[in-house]
Structure formats: C-alpha cells, structure tokens
C-alpha cells in the first residue's frame, strides 16, 4: 500500500516549427495584451481511494458445505458462520449471510451482529456515510471490539474524514495488536499525514514567437486600410510554479491555500515580458466519490507595456491589472468509470491605466471523463466565458467544446489527442473605420497530440512530444490566423 505523496515538477522545452501565418484575435491597430484566459475544468485521472484489504486469519479448520435453507433452520450454525466473517472482514461472506440472518425471527437476532453486518455491506456498496454511522453505533455500545474499530477507521479514511480516522487509528495503536495489524495502522496514519502535505509543481518552457505583437500577415488590407505594425520576433522562456495545501477538518471538510505563479521573459524583446500571481484561500468538503471547494482569490498581472511602452523603460514590469473573485471547483465519481468535473468563477478586474477595460467576467466549464479500462480514457467538455468591459468593443462571449482520447498502446507507446472548437462574439464593433460596420465574430479551432514511451526514462524523467495546431477564422481579416507548434515536455514525479 503506497501512500507516498507525488509532487510533480516538469520542465518543458517548446520549439515553434511553423511561424505564425496571421494576427491574433484583436482588431486593427489594437495592441497585443497579456493572456487573461479563464481556467477550465480538466479531466484529472486521479482514481478513487480504494478500500484497503485486511488479511484474513488463516485457520486449519475444514470447510463444511451447507445450504441457505439449512442455515435458516440452524440459527446456531448461522451465527457461528457470521461472527468469524465479521471479525475477519470477510465482506463477501457477510453479504451472503446477512439476508439469511435478517429473515430470522426478531427474538433470534442480535442487534449488534445485525448492525455490524449492515455496516460492512454498506461499505461494500460504496455507501461510506451509512457505513460509518453504523460502525459508530457498534463502537458506542462495544468499544472493546478491536476488529470493528479497525473497520470504522478504514471506512473513515476512505470517506476522507481524516481527523476522525486519525483519532481511531491512534486509539488502535495503543492496543496490543499483532505486528501485521500494527504495520497496517501505521501505514494508514502515514497516509493521513501525506494527504495534508503541500503539493508543488513547476515548469519551464522555451518560447519562440514569430509574431509576438499579433500583427496581421503581410498584404492584409480591408477597404484600403493596412496594419500599422509588422510581426516582431521574440525568444525567451515561460515559467510556472504552483503550490497547494489542504488542512483536514472534521466530517470530511478541509481548508485550502493555493498559489499560482506564471510569467514570460523574452531576452530579445523585453517589452513583452509579463507576470501573473494568483492566491486563493477557501474551504471544501470531500469524500470517496465527491469533492467541492469554494475559494475567494486575488490575481495580479504585471506587463512591460508592449508596443506602447517607453523605450527607456522597456523590459520593466508594471501593474497591468488586478482581479478579485471567487472560484468553485466540483468533481464527482458517478461510478468506477465515469467522473464529472466542473469549475465556476466570477471576477472583478481593474486596470490602473487602461480603465476602459474595467469590468467583470464569468466563466463556467464542465468535463465528463470515461475510463472503459486501464489502458484507455475519453473525455468531453463544454466551456463558457463572458468578459465585460466599459468599452464594449473589448467585451465578448466565448462558447466552446472539447473532446479527448488517451490510449496506452503495445510496445510501451502512449498517446493523447484533444480537439477543440469555440465561437467568440464581441459585443460592439471596433470604432476605427471600416470596423464600425460589423460586430467581430471569431471561430477558433484547435488540436493537440501528445506522444511518449512509457519505458523511456532519463534520470526518472519521461519525455513527451506534443504537436498543437490552432486556427482562428474571423469576419475581421486582421484577426484571422493559424499556427503550428511542437513542444518537448520533460516531467518527473517525486
């Protein structure tokens, strides 16, 4: 049983194979701005906590075959079969004997044995809350039943009631347990401690942008209008670091603290450097099937200014925006193969200089994950993002869908494919002629394909190669473009 916490640190090298073919999704003469896209729900493949098996004691007794009808006629034999099954955590045996025991006359039933059997069957069926309640009734009446207390502690652990589980395991550790059970108790206690540790991940990405300022391709014009800038080249590094800690509270609830730190530094075009920092503090609840959290956040962006920056101060980061809001994350396993995750977020953005962009934003996304077997998974999601602004030509609605497929192939090969489509509709036409004539509407297409070999390691690092393609078509020709990129990702778990 491995409770070791995995912290992920990945380093990504990104090589841009094909230069940008056109401008990014901005109107004519509008500057390239830092990326402030919303965070969508992701199809995390973390599996459900599993009920840990308890070794059944081995005896030298012979097995005697008897039918259900015969057991019903011999309550003494039925009890002699049920009690060892309860003590040994023989869930299958208890599930077989419980219906027979329940059919006995009430005066022949022991309420304690009946409750114990019902607790085990409820746990087997995944109803951990009911199982925990029944086990607590047993311990309240018979605190000396070590086997029942151990089963209660494991049920609490699987239901992510860490504080209560830790209390029960500590009580068990004070008992004169056999060495195998003592090791089991210590392993669970270690697992509880690992759950509340910090989780960290970070990464580096090599950046080569052939059109960092999102200028249209050469020759683009509309009604005699031509773009006022040409594509600029920028090379540098993107960096990301995040950390999160959860503190277990009573009843499966928890508090959380999280931070996300991201930035881009271009050594040959520093006026496009940018940096963002988000911190959040909130509360949540989790059990075996579900997790929900609610966290207020504050996010700050710094930007070197882009094309409008002062030449003498290019490369110096300045406060670009500050966003305050709330975020809710929800996930639930519907069964062993289906999982749904969703994110809701609301933010109020304020811009110290570009006050016309002040406004709020709403985002909602949901993704369904399907795992037919251990070698394959599928997912599909929907996304919605609304950005409001004082200047309506900066406000838009974006609606999108995505589909994905992950596969482990023979000979150690693994792949992941994702396809995306979105529509972005602006609220007001841009004020510069001729764009006052129509509202801008974009259609965004994307594909991502990742390939790696499961047995290919370098010092514990598995390289993954990703190809991505993005295309935006628009009724504004200055916002139509497509691009190909290839990334080499190096990841390590420890």
Of 160, 167, 153, 176, the C-alpha closest to 54 is 153
Residue 206: what pLDDT? 77
Task: Indicate the average pLDDT of the chain.
Answer: 80
Q: Which residue did the predictor score with more confidence, 189 or 70? A: 189
| CA-derived radius of gyration, the chain | 29
Q: Is the pLDDT of residue 391 over 80?
A: yes
Percentage of residues of the chain with pLDDT beyond 90? 32
Burial of 374 (0-12, 13-18, 19+ CB in 10 A): exposed
401-425 confidence digits (pLDDT tens): 999 999 988 888 899 999 999 999 9
Residue 310: what pLDDT? 63
Q: Which residue did the predictor score with more confidence, 481 or 170? A: 170
Total residue length of the chain: 494
Q: Find the helix or strand (DSSP H, E) in which 133 lies.
A: helix 128-141
96-120 confidence digits (pLDDT tens): 898 988 888 888 889 999 999 999 9
Q: Which residue did the predictor score with more confidence, 309 or 28? A: 309
306-337 confidence digits (pLDDT tens): 766 665 566 789 999 999 999 999 999 898 88
Q: Find the helix or strand (DSSP H, E) in which 305 lies.
A: none
Contact assessment for residue 344 and residue 325, using Cβ atoms and an 8 Å cutoff: no
Of 248, 255, 122, 125, the C-alpha closest to 189 is 248
Mean pLDDT of 200-206: 77
Confidence of residue 364 (pLDDT cuts 50, 70, 90): very high
Q: How far apart are CA 18 and CA 86, in angstroms?
A: 66
Q: What is the DSSP string of 398-463?
A: EEEEEEEEEEEPGGGEEEEEEEEEEEEEESS--SSTTGGGS--EEEEEEEEEEEEETT--BTTBEE
Domains in the chain: ranges and CATH: 8-37+195-493 (2.40.160.40), 68-159 (no CATH)
């Amino acid at each position: 049983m491995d409770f070791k916490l995995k912290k992920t640190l990945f380093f990504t090298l990104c090589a841009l194979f094909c230069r940008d073919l056109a401008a990014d999704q901005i109107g004519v003469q509008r500057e390239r701005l830092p990326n402030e896209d919303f965070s969508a729900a992701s199809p995390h493949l973390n599996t459900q906590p599993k009920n840990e098996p308890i070794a059944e004691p081995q005896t030298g007794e012979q097995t005697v075959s008897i039918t259900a009808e015969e057991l019903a006629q011999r309550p003494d034999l039925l009890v002699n079969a049920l009690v060892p099954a309860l003590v040994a955590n023989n869930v299958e045996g208890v599930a077989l004997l419980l219906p027979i025991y329940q059919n006995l006359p009430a005066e022949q039933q022991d309420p304690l044995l009946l409750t114990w059997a019902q607790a085990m069957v409820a746990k087997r069926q995944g109803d951990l809350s009911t199982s925990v309640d029944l086990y607590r009734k047993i311990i309240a009446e018979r605190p000396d039943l070590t086997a029942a207390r151990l089963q209660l502690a494991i049920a609490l652990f699987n239901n992510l009631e860490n504080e209560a589980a830790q209390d029960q395991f500590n009580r068990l550790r004070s008992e004169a347990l056999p060495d195998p059970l003592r090791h089991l108790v210590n392993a669970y206690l270690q697992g509880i401690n690992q759950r509340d540790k910090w989780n960290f991940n970070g990464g580096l990405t090599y950046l080569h942008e052939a059109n960092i300022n999102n200028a249209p391709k050469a020759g683009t014009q509309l009604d005699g209008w031509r773009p006022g800038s040409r594509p600029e080249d920028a090379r540098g590094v993107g960096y990301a670091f995040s950390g999160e800690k959860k503190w277990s509270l009573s009843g499966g609830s928890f508090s959380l603290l999280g931070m996300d730190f991201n930035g881009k530094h271009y050594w040959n075009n520093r006026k496009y450097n940018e940096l963002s920092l988000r911190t959040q503090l909130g509360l949540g609840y989790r059990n075996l099937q579900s997790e929900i959290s609610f966290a207020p956040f504050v996010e700050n962006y710094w930007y070197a200014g882009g094309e409008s920056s002062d030449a003498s101060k290019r490369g110096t980061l300045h406060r670009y925006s500050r966003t305050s809001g709330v975020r809710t994350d929800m996930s639930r396993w519907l069964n062993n193969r289906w999982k749904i995750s969703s994110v809701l977020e609301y933010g109020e953005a304020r811009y110290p200089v570009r006050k016309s962009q002040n406004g709020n934003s709403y985002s909602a996304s949901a993704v369904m994950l399907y795992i037919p077997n251990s070698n394959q998974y599928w997912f599909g999601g929907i996304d919605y993002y609304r950005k409001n602004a004082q200047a309506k030509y900066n406000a838009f609605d974006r609606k999108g869908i995505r589909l994905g497929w992950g596969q482990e192939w023979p000979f150690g090969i693994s792949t992941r494919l994702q396809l995306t489509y979105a529509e972005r509709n602006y609220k007001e036409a841009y004020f510069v002629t001729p764009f006052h004539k129509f509202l801008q509407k974009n259609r965004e297409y994307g594909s991502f394909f990742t390939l790696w070999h499961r047995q290919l390691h370098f010092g514990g690092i598995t390289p993954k190669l990703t190809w991505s393609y993005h295309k935006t078509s628009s009724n504004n020709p200055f916002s139509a473009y497509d691009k190909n990129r290839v990334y080499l990702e190096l990841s390590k778990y420890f």
